[in-house]
Structure formats: C-alpha cells, structure tokens
Amino acid sequence: MNAIETKDLEKVYGTNSVVNKVNLNVEKGIIFGFLGKNGAGKSTFINMLTGLTQPTSGTYQLASRKEKVGVLPDYSTLYDDMTALDHLKYFNKLLKAEMQNDQLVQLLKDVGLNDAIHLKAKKYSFGMKKKLAFAQAMLNNPEIVFLDEPTSGVDANSILTIHDLMKKLARQGTTVFFTSHNLDEVEKLSDKIAIMDQGRIKVQGDMEYLKSSIEQDIKVDVKFMNDSTLDTAGIEQKLSEFVTECHWKPHRLQATLKSKQDVSTINKILVLNDVEVYAIDLHEPSLEEIFIKTGQTSQ
C-alpha cells in the first residue's frame, strides 16, 4: 500500500509551472530520497503534500491523518528564550500529542541533545537547532515524516545519529520522505529515489532501476597475477562474444561488456586460459553520475 500518491499534481505561479503534473507513488514504511537541483520544484512539491501550499491542479493523497504527519523544514524558527524541553512541552500541548515528560526528555536524548535539554535555544548552534527541530517533528509519532535536508550543518557524529533515527523510523513502519544535497547520503539510506528537474520527475525507482535507466558502457577492471606468458590475442578472440573492447595493461585487463550478466562467464574464460584472476571490479554508475546525466537529458 502507498503512503503517498500524487496524480498530475501541478503548481503554477503566473506562467511558470513550478511543479508540472507530477505522478509519484511512495510505499509505506520505506525511506524515500527526493533529489533535484535548487529551483527544481522540490520544496513546492513538499509544501503541497504538507498543506502549506494549495495545488493549482491535480490531486494527492496521504495514507495518514494530518495530525500524524511530521515535518522537518530546512530552516526552523525557534523561540530564543525557551529551552529544548520547553519547546517540546509547548508543541506537545499544541499538537495534543500527550507525551509524558520523561518521553520528551528521551526524545531529546535520542537526537543527541543530552547536554542541552535545559539550554536556551539562543545558545544553540545551527546543528543543535536542526536536532531540536528533528525532535519536534517526531512528537506526534508520525506515520509519514517529511525531512528537508535533515543533516545539513550537522557534525559527523550527529549525522550518524540522524541516519540511525531515520532507519529506525522506517523499521517501525513510518514512511520517511527526505531531501538532501548529499548524494552519497541519499544512495546509502534510500529504498527508492526520485529525481526532479524543472518541475518534472525525470526518473524514480530503486538504485538498480536508476542505474539501468541511463545508457552507459559496462566496464570491468580485471586484476591478475601472471602477465608475460599470456596469449592476449587468443584470449580476446574467446572473449569477443561477450566483450566489445579490451585494453591490456601490466597485470590488468580493462574491458567493455555487452551485459553485466556476462561477468562470471568472462571470469571462467580467463581462468580456463591460465589467467590468475584475483579481483574483478565492475563499474556501475553512482547516484552522482545518474543525477548529472538526468539533468543533461532534461532539456
């Protein structure tokens, strides 16, 4: 079952379609990475889903009541003279979340604010404010949570803490929808990913699907022990059914494959021809490469 569904969702400002008839389905209980360059329409899309902006046309549906949706904006406004615990108490009452005091304290510890529970927000660093805002987004035990750049400006240890919290939420059945400019982070955490460009979703799916969605040569780097006695011309002839290009270097063969499914067959051929293979590295496109190529083909 889907946690989020949109159908031809559109937001137009003047003559500019900022979000252009987007169809997107996000399953329940997954971590969903939402990518796009600045100005791609990501924030406007999220603002429609969270009720901050009304769509111009199209529809959306969330498999959750509005009071069970959590939101972490990129920049949160805090009350300078309130402590972290004061903030949670205030929003706990406002949201009618009915958390007990010890639960609020534990929530602050979970996000890494152990030593700042009673510290006023005006003394917080940007990263500390981010963690407090994350705690606020968790107050209502959300079924769907939208996180806009959850780790920007946060130190390395806190990044790991937030990553663990995101994974824990997904394990508990919460749908985590997040944006990030850190492509390695998105690739590492996400079950599914969508890339938006100029208001449209250019590609969406898991990493395997994203890799297959762009045309790219399949290259392998074979490393082996022996060298001078090899009949490279004869080996190339036997590989020709599976390989379009070969480059021999000392103790290495760099080859372009017709299909990555042929890697094991190529290894067998090499071994049968006395090549002492000790490593085969298959190059597959990273999310960064996919992101760049998607942008190049969006015009």
| Residue 202 tokens, joined | 């250019």
Give the tens place of pLDDT for each residue, 85-113.
999 999 999 988 889 999 999 999 999 99
**How far is it, in rounded angstroms, from Cα 60 to Cα 177?**
15
Q: What percent of the chain has pLDDT over 90?
A: 78
Distance CA 205, CA 193 (A): 6
Report whether 19 contacts 199 (CB < 8 A): yes
> In order of start, what are the domains of the chain with their CATH numbers?
2-79+123-212 (3.40.50.300), 214-283 (3.30.70.100)
pTM of the predicted protein model? 0.85
Q: pLDDT of 266-283, one tens digit each?
A: 999 999 999 999 999 988
Residue indicated by tokens 């045309």: 215
Which of the residue ranges 67-81, 194-208, 234-248, 266-280 would you say has the lowest mean pLDDT? 67-81
Answer yes or no: is pLDDT of 217 > 80. no
Report the C-alpha gap between 290 and 108 in whole angstroms: 37
